Structure 1
Amino acid sequence: MELLMTRLHEGTVLLYALSMLLYFFDFLNNNQKANKIAFWLLSIVWVLQTIFLFLYVMKTGRFPILTIFEGLYFYAWLLVSLSLIINRLLRVDFIVFFTNLLGFMVMAIHTFAPVQIESEVLAQQLVSELLFIHITFALLSYSAFTLSFVFSLLYLIQYDLLKRKKWGKRLLRLGDLTKLENLSYLLAVIGVPLLGVSLILGIQWANLKLPGVSWLDMKIIGSFVILIGYSVYLYLKIRKQVYGRALAFLNIGFFMIVLINFFLFGSLSSFHVWNT
């Protein structure tokens, strides 16, 4: 039963992460379809959280607020509840997204905290699974940034061919400039929240397994630089209306940081090397 409940909690966190990704996409692009799917996913999360909360009250015979970890779960439940109400009644997307971001962090901390698991073996397994999910999300984000880089590179090639009036099959096979730019932007939109989720889970894992780790580790700094850099890329695209070759060169420059962080900073990192 404990294993089943643990799996359900993990599934809830993954549903929460997917909902947050869709809310992020809606936040940037005002996409009502993404907002609707995110709302229903978050509703499922709320239902599962409410069931877990009810079962815990039935088991202990008291309200779960007497310990820090009980309080975290109730706090996460309140944030999800408020987020659903705000999303349905007020339609303030900025508040909804950042409320969900905070709620996800609290939910992840509570779910993967081994102190709440009675079985020591299960607790260690849960921490290992936290590391697995962290790495998976990081690789997914890097994959999205890689494809975004490829489309930006193709954009520059296509732009050069058009400028030099090099007509032919190669020009037709590359696709039009608008499509290449939009695909590059879309993949960056996907990569940013994936990396953000990965960093949240990675910080939780480090706190559990390596409490004395230095936050000046090159891998950690590099990951946050990438997150900030691509966030600036999205900001310039959406708010400052930067587009075309300037945006493509900017994207390629940030991808160089991704490569440096993955290959160079990974080898300079103390605990990432130890972990591998």
Structure 2
Amino acid sequence: MADMTVARLQEVMIVLYAASLVFYFIDYLNKNTVAHRSAFWLLTVVYLLQTGFLVYYIVETRRFPILSLFEGIYFYAWLLITLSMILHIFYKVGHAVFFLNVIGFCFMTIHTFAPNQIAQSPVGEALISELLFIHITFAILSYAAFAMSFVFAILYLLVYKVLKKKKWSKQFGRLPSLHQTTIGMKAAIYTGIPVLLVSLILGTQWAYVVLDEWSIFDFKIIGSFFLIIVYGSVLFLQRSGRLTANDFAWANIFAFLFVIINFFLGGRLSEFHFWL
């Protein structure tokens, strides 16, 4: 029972850590106060859980957990989150906090779902299946976010066309403004990119633990990284002023075509992504 509780708390910690990264990414790009506070408080909960597990381990083993690579990974992840908390509270260095936590999340995932951890744990199979569940859930959530950017792009072009032709109708009052659709496109991309990145990190760890043979060059994995590059490029070009108005909307529409291709064709061509 105790092992199951610890496993559940570790899963909760991973999910909260991932959510914190999403909010930090939004704040990193858009300086959003709500996202900034949400990220900090989620990270605080994660830090308290990590510290609690560290203290528990010290009490149980009566030594400091750095005598093996497995223990060192956990302590390193804890140290990174400690440094990020210090930077957040005392120095307000948002860029450093975000990137430190990306690294910390990677190491925390490696520790939680490491092969020796799974083999020694009586709930190892449950951890593996739930790692897969979280990976797929985050992947689908990222696709949903990109679909939202597609919808807002369509609405932008529709509103722009109506305004240009000055043909008002009863339905026009139900349409969002150009500003609202632009905000919607950007917010969807802000959410989709980090969520997909988290999914890739978790999925890579799952493949490493479960599969005897797999390649980082699997079509689905390459396609997912390509999506991050595509949407990251769209976001970069928009923020640098090279993609404005209609061009930004059309870029979102064309980018979503790659999402559809990766979702359907990627699953068929992948060596192990049979569920998508």
Q: Is the 8 Å Cα contact of residues 118 and 127 (structure 2) preserved in structure 1?
A: no
- Which residue in the other structure is 1:99 paired with? 100
Matched, 1:266 2:262: no
- Which residue in the other structure is 1:83 paired with? 84
After TM superposition, the structure 1 stretch with the greater mean CA deviation from structure 2, 180-189 or 158-167, is: 158-167
Could you list the per-position Cα deviations for residues 231-274 of structure 1 after superposition, in whole angstroms to 9, with x for gaps in the alignment?
1122122233632100001011110000000111211111112x
Shift of 1:163: 1.7
Could you list the per-position Cα deviations for residues 53-108 of structure 1 after superposition, in whole angstroms to 9, with x for gaps in the alignment?
11101111111111111111000000000000011111111111010111011111
- Which residue in the other structure is 1:62 paired with? 63
Matched, 1:14 2:18: no
RMSD: 1.5
Q: Is the 8 Å Cα contact of residues 22 and 37 (structure 1) preserved in structure 2?
A: yes
- Which residue in the other structure is 1:214 paired with? 215
Shift of 1:45: 1.2
Shift of 1:180: 1.1
Q: Is the 8 Å Cα contact of residues 154 and 253 (structure 2) preserved in structure 1?
A: yes
Q: Is the 8 Å Cα contact of residues 16 and 45 (structure 1) preserved in structure 2?
A: yes
Shift of 1:211: 4.1
- Which residue in the other structure is 1:157 paired with? 158
Q: Tell me, in whole angstroms, the C-alpha distance in 2 between the residues paired with 1:24 and 1:74.
A: 24
Q: Is the 8 Å Cα contact of residues 220 and 270 (structure 2) preserved in structure 1?
A: yes
One-letter amino acid matched to 1:98: F
After TM superposition, the structure 1 stretch with the greater mean CA deviation from structure 2, 133-142 or 45-54, is: 45-54
3-state SS in 2 of match to 1:66 = coil
One-letter amino acid matched to 1:30: K
Q: Tell me, in whole angstroms, the C-alpha distance in 1 between the residues paired with 2:127 and 2:71.
A: 18
Q: Is the 8 Å Cα contact of residues 148 and 185 (structure 1) preserved in structure 2?
A: yes
One-letter amino acid matched to 1:150: V
Q: How many residues are paired up? A: 275
- Which residue in the other structure is 1:185 paired with? 186
TM-score, normalized by length of structure 2?
Answer: 0.95
Structure 2 portions without partners, runs of 5+: none
Q: Tell me, in whole angstroms, the C-alpha distance in 1 between the residues paired with 2:115 and 2:219.
A: 27
Could you list the per-position Cα deviations for residues 210-249 of structure 1 after superposition, in whole angstroms to 9, with x for gaps in the alignment?
2421222111111001011111122122233632100001
Q: Tell me, in whole angstroms, the C-alpha distance in 1 between the residues paired with 2:216 and 2:44.
A: 35
Q: Tell me, in whole angstroms, the C-alpha distance in 2 between the residues paired with 1:209 and 1:117.
A: 10
Could you list the per-position Cα deviations for residues 11-63 of structure 1 after superposition, in whole angstroms to 9, with x for gaps in the alignment?
11111111111111110111223212211221121111111111101111111
- Which residue in the other structure is 2:35 paired with? 34
Q: Which runs of 4+ in 1 moved over 3 A?
A: 117-121
Structure 1 portions without partners, runs of 5+: none
Matched, 1:238 2:272: no
Q: Is the 8 Å Cα contact of residues 28 and 238 (structure 1) preserved in structure 2?
A: no
- Which residue in the other structure is 1:132 paired with? 133
- Which residue in the other structure is 1:46 paired with? 47
Q: Is the 8 Å Cα contact of residues 236 and 242 (structure 1) preserved in structure 2?
A: yes
TM-score, normalized by length of structure 1?
Answer: 0.95
- Which residue in the other structure is 1:2 paired with? 3
Q: Tell me, in whole angstroms, the C-alpha distance in 1 between the residues paired with 2:124 and 2:37.
A: 35
- Which residue in the other structure is 2:147 paired with? 146
